[in-house]
Structure 1
């Protein structure tokens, strides 16, 4: 994977793009977030975009290194399980906004639009509820009831 590179600039947008701005990282995170695929084989077999195994392995390593995923240490013969970190969970509003933008400006499939439409309609209240569910599932935190 190599050493950490110096950022191209100190611009906040550049800093984000350098972590997840390649063509696969957000797709891998999407599948963990929305499809609860936590294992390599699940991520590869369930990829509607057809991610190659070497690309998936590289992106998982990068996402762990960048602090967006954790990889559960395993014993011999066990599969590694990936979990979201708090910074990854805080990408939910970004996923919602990306989906909303694509619904308006890109060709999409009506069969795949439901999630984007639901996130758009639910707005920040739904996003925060979903983030709390993800915290519970991935970080083991207690769900907050009625708190914002």
Structure 2
């Protein structure tokens, strides 16, 4: 593989010279997600505010949840309490157009989620009845999830 194109001005200038052309090594960055391989999603929080996350186009629900956790874990904390994500995901879920994204192994594409879409963080309910009606710890979680991004 030659770096110099035959017939080019540089190629004609060094033709016949003793200069050797070193083959150019190519670098592959296929393991790094490129912009077009990412989905930018907006997450609507419990307090009505939003934040953005980016995940691979091939991401699962579990990977989306991890991206949400990463945003909260990287944000400056006004409240120094640690968020219990197992508690959060046990009582709240991400929703998309009526679908509850609760199975970590399902792929976002199976729900029709596309770049620029919005998912909503909601209280997980079964048959319209909330799992926790007056749990004080739940109120703490709602407050933490509401203030983390301010």
TM-score by length of 2: 0.30
Q: Which structure is richer in relative contact order (CA contacts within 8 A, separation 6 or more)?
A: 2
Between structures 1 and 2, the one with greater strand share: 2
Between structures 1 and 2, the one with greater helix share: 1
TM-score by length of 1: 0.30
